[in-house]
Amino acid sequence: MKRFSLVAALAMICFGITFYWMATAVHDRVLAESQRTLTTRAQFLAHQLDRTMQQRMVQTFTFAAFPSLRGVATADEATRSARMAIAYSELQAWVAADPNVRAVSIVNSLGIVILATDATINTNWGERVFVRQALAGQLYVSPPVREWGELSQYYSAPIINNLGEVAGALIVRVDAQELWSVLETSNDVMLIDENGVQIANRATMPSLFVALSPLAAEVRARVLAEKQYGAEITQIGAINLSDLATAIKRGQAAFVVYRDAQAQTWHAAIYRMKTKPWTVVVVVSEETQMTPARDAIVDQFALAIIVAVLVAGTLNVAWFILKREPQ
């Protein structure tokens, strides 16, 4: 009986050591592979978003240099009407040819719409960031906005006169789906802007225009006053993902583990875009991530039992042989 207890104890020790070593190895391997996969996806999607936005920015800048459009922006009130027809036909042709372009407008140096393919004519856009940036001589891309009954983005470029001065701006409103389509159809990707607000979330579209953590009062007041997310967005809610928000603010590629409001653990790879200070976040729940590990551990558990049985059998045989040897 004592011999059996000793053999069983040794077998259990071997079993425990074998199982722990195998389970730890499987867990670490699955975690490392998942981290590499998430990081690669985040980097790839960030580069694709940069490419998509840069192409549209180049197009907007190119159109802003068209002589007909420059003529409208630089002409005085007396001569502008004679230039309108040709410029309007070119803008209309652009809208008709590109299914993602919703409308194109020209604003003067005061931010007043003087030509448009939609009903925005004579609208004062002077307070909107995409107009202010263009009138300051910069190319600009807005985050998605909710207005005109749809979700879209604004691209803007300065219109330069013959003296090299900014005489107005070209504003292009594009379907936001052009941006979101780059993020694939999976439900594990978020896009966070420089304010920490979700501007793309494939998993839950109602989470759009919701901050990862509460915005400072002055930031919230500014983005609402400037209508950064569109005229239809009158408040910015927040969820409590402060660990993720803090990691994103650092502006570096990273791998983050955080908990949501339901205490569920998530693993996330974050990668900052180059065109805009926006961050791609690719996430996976720990439960989903570790499913392959659990399956592998079950297999390893069976293997560990086999090892323990073999050890027990070997020890029994060895004990029996030693007992039969002459003293």
Average pLDDT, the chain: 84
CB 207 within 8 A of CB 217: no
Instruction: Identify whether residues 161 and 209 lie together within a single domain.
Output: no
* pLDDT tens digit sequence for 164-184: 999 999 999 999 999 988 886
C-alpha 107/C-alpha 167 separation (Å) is 9
**Domain's final residue, options 147, 178, 209:** 178
Query: What integer is the mean pLDDT of 316-324?
Result: 61
- Do the domain assignments include residue 10? no
Evaluate whether residue 15 is within a structural domain.
no
SS3 189: strand
DSSP assignment string, 42-88:
HHHHHHHHHHHHHHHHHHHHHHHT-HHHHHHHHS-HHHHHHHHHHHH
Mean pLDDT comparison of 1-5, 156-160, 206-210, highest-scoring range: 156-160
* Co-location of 49 and 192 in the same domain: yes
Q: Rounded to 10 degrees, what is the CA torsion of 71, 75, 80, 82?
A: -50
> Is there a single domain that holds both residue 48 and residue 69?
no
Among the candidates 157, 178, 199, a domain finishes at 178
Q: Give yes or no: residues 68 and 42 share one domain.
A: no
Q: Do 74 and 116 have their domain in common?
A: yes
CA 318 to chain centre: 62
Instruction: Write down the pLDDT at residue 224.
Output: 95
3-state SS record for 21-36: HHHHHHHHHHHHHHHH
The verdict on residue 281 lying in a domain is: yes
Q: Rounded to an integer, what distance in angstroms lies between the CA atom of residue 273 and that of residue 48?
A: 9
Give a yes or no: residue 308 inside a domain. Answer: no
- With a pLDDT cut of 90, the percent of the chain lying above it is 57
Let me know whether 123 and 199 are in one domain. no
Q: What percent of the chain has pLDDT over 70?
A: 75
- The CATH number assigned to the domain holding 80 equals 3.30.450.20
17 pLDDT tier (thresholds 50, 70, 90): low
Q: Quick one: CA torsion of 127, 133, 135, 139, rounded to 10 degrees? A: -140
Query: Domain of 225?
Result: 34-53+186-289
Contacts of 88 (CB under 8 A, 6+ apart): 115, 117
Q: What's the rounded mean pLDDT across residues 270-277? A: 95
Q: Domain end: 178, 197, 232, which one?
A: 178
The per-residue pLDDT for 43 is 94
Domain count, the chain: 2
